[in-house]
Amino acid sequence: MQSRPLTAQRAAPLAGAVRVPGDKSISHRALMFAALAIGQTRITGLLEGEDVLRTAAAMRALGAHITNPAAGEWHVCGAGIGGLAEPDDVLDMGNSGTAARLLSGILATHPIFSVMTGDASLRRRPMARVMDPLAQTGARFAARAGGRLPLAITGTGHALPIDYRLPVASAQVKSALLLAGLNARGDTRIEEPIPTRDHTENMLRHFGAALTVERDGPGRIITLAGQPELRAADVIVPGDPSSAAFPLVAALLVEGSAMTIQGIGLNPLRTGLLRALAAMDADFTIANERVEGGEPVGDVTAAATRLIAADTPPELAPSMIDEFPILAVACAFARGTSRLRGLAELRVKESDRLAATLALLIANGVRAAIDGDDLVIHGTGAPPEGGGHVITHMDHRIAMSALVLGSATTSPVSVDDTAFIDTSFPGFCDLMTSLGCRFA
C-alpha cells in the first residue's frame, strides 16, 4: 500500500449533518454469522472498508455465497454450522485483528486446515490470547514466535465446549470463544470480569442461538448452547461510534462549530467516550433514539466547548478502548490534568497505541507522560501549538486523531501516512473537509 502523507491546518467552524460508515465490529460479525446461518441474509449499511472486505473475502473462500448488489447492501447465503469448506489458499486478513481473532474461533471447530496471515502490522500482533483457550476445543495451532501470524489452524470435527474465565476484558477473545462454541457439543461458558461490547451476544440471539447472560458481581457469565441451527436474519448496521468519535471531538475543539452526526450506534457497552466527554462538560445532545437491527441508535449534535480535564476509571476502558487516542486529543485542549486509566490493552492494537498516542501529543507541544498503564495529559485550556510531525505506525486511529488535532492547533500538524484510514473509515477525509476541515 502506497503511503499518503497529509497535513491538517486550522479548520473553519465545522457545520452540517453527516453519517459515518457502518459499525466495523457489527459488520465483521454480520458477515460471519450470516455465513454460518441457513438461508439468505440481507445486510444493509455494511462498512465497506478494507478490514471488513477482508472478512467478506475470507467467508467466500470458506464456502459462503456473498454478493454486493448495491453500495452498503450485501446478500449472504450461508453454509450452516459446521458446513464451511477448506479454503484453497491462505486467508489474508490485511490489517484487521478483529477479523483474524474472531475467524480463528470459527476455524478451530471446523474439521478443515487453514492458514491466516496479514499485513506487517497485523503480523506483529499476538494471537496467543485466542489460541490458548481455543486449544481446549481440540484444535491445533502453529504460529511464529510469540503466537504471531502467519497462523496455521487444524480444526477439530469433535469440538469440546470451553469453560473459560477471561484474564483481561476482551470482546475479541470472548467472541472467538463463542464462535468456536457454536460447533461444539454442549454448553460453552465464558466469564468476563468486566463487561465488554456485546454485539456478538446480540447477534447470536438475532440469528436464533440459545444464549443466556448472568450478572456476576461487576462482570458477566455468558452461556451458549452448542450446535444450534442459525437462521438467516436481515441486519441493519448502525453508524460506527468509534468512527463518529473523530468528527464529534473535532466539533468540540474547533471554535464556533455546531454539527450533527446521524444514526450512530448507542450500545451502552460502546458509549464510554460519550460518558467521558459528558464529565468534561462537553456540549452535545442525543436525539431521535430508536432500535435498529437489535442495536440502539440515535443522532448526536455537538458544539464547540471549553473542556475540563478527564479522569477515566479503568472499568470504563472496555467501552471506549478504540477511542482513547481521540479522547487524549480532547484532553490536550482541556483545562487541568487528565488521567486516562487502565490502558494496557492499547499496547497490543494496530500499533503500541499507548506509546503512539503519547508521541503524537509530545510532538505537538502537549505535556504528557505514561504512568504504568495510565496516560497523564496536562492541558492548559487553550489550543496546543501543534506544528509536529506524527508517525502513525500504520495505525488508522493515530492518523485520524492527528488530523483532528491539527484542525484546532495553532500551527499545522503533518501525518506520515493516512493510507490505512480506509481500513476502518473510508471517505474520512472527504467527510471531514465537507464539514470545514482543511487537509493538504
3-state SS, 183-201, equals CCCCEEEEEECCCCCCHHH
147 domain residue, yes or no: yes
Residue 350: the pLDDT is: 74
Confidence at residue 63, expressed as pLDDT on a 0 to 100 scale: 97
CATH number for the domain spanning 177: value is: 3.65.10.10
In a domain, 123, yes or no: yes
* pLDDT per residue as tens, the chain (440 positions): 678 999 999 999 999 999 999 999 999 999 999 999 999 999 999 999 999 999 999 999 999 999 999 988 999 999 999 999 999 999 999 999 999 999 999 999 999 999 999 999 899 988 999 999 999 999 999 999 989 999 999 999 999 999 999 998 899 999 999 999 999 999 999 999 999 999 999 999 999 999 999 999 999 999 999 999 999 999 999 999 999 999 999 999 999 999 999 999 999 999 999 999 999 999 999 999 998 867 899 999 999 999 999 999 999 998 999 999 999 999 999 999 999 999 998 997 777 999 999 999 999 999 999 999 999 999 999 999 999 999 999 899 999 999 999 999 999 999 999 999 988 899 999 999 999 999 99
Give how many domains the chain has, as a whole number: 2
Check whether residue 205 and residue 91 sit in a common domain: yes
418, 403: one domain: yes
Residue 1 has a pLDDT of 61
pTM equals: 0.88
The DSSP element (H or E) to which 360 belongs, if any, is helix 353-362
* Non-local CB neighbours of 144 within 8 Å, separated by 6+ positions: 123, 150
How far is Cα 344 from Cα 318, in angstroms, rounded to an integer? 11
Do both 246 and 133 map to the same domain? no
Return the active site residues: 322
Looking at the fold, whether 151 and 215 belong to one and the same domain comes out as yes
| pLDDT score recorded for residue 439 | 97
Q: Are residues 80 and 13 located together in one domain of the fold? A: no
Which of these three, 236, 261, 295, is where a domain ends? 236
Looking at the structure, tell me whether residues 171 and 318 fall in a common domain.
no
- Domain assignment present for residue 395? The answer is yes
State whether 206 and 308 are in the same domain: no
> Is residue 217 domain-resident?
yes
160 assigned to some structural domain: yes
Neighbours of 138 (CB within 10 A): 16
* 69, 122: one domain: yes
> In this structure, is residue 1 part of a structural domain?
no
Please check whether residue 198 lies inside any domain of the structure.
Answer: yes
C-alpha grid cell for residue 119? 499485513
Q: Do 42 and 186 lie in a common domain?
A: yes
**Residue-wise burial string across 281-306, b where 16 or more C-beta atoms lie within 10 A, e elsewhere:** ebbbeeeeeeeebbbbbbbbbbbbbe
Give the range of the structural domain holding residue 29, as residue numbers without chain letter: 24-223+231-236
Instruction: Tell me what pLDDT residue 55 has.
Output: 98
User: Which residue, 206, 236, 266, sits at the end of a domain?
Assistant: 236
Answer whether residue 321 is part of any domain.
yes
Greatest distance between any 2 Cα atoms in the chain: 62
pLDDT value, residue 78: 97
The answer on 176 and 272 residing in a single domain is no
**Residue type at 113 in one-letter notation:** F
Let me know whether 261 and 370 are in one domain. yes
How many helices (H) and strands (E) the chain has is answered by 12, 24
Domain closes at, from 211, 236, 261:
236
Same domain, 196 and 269: no
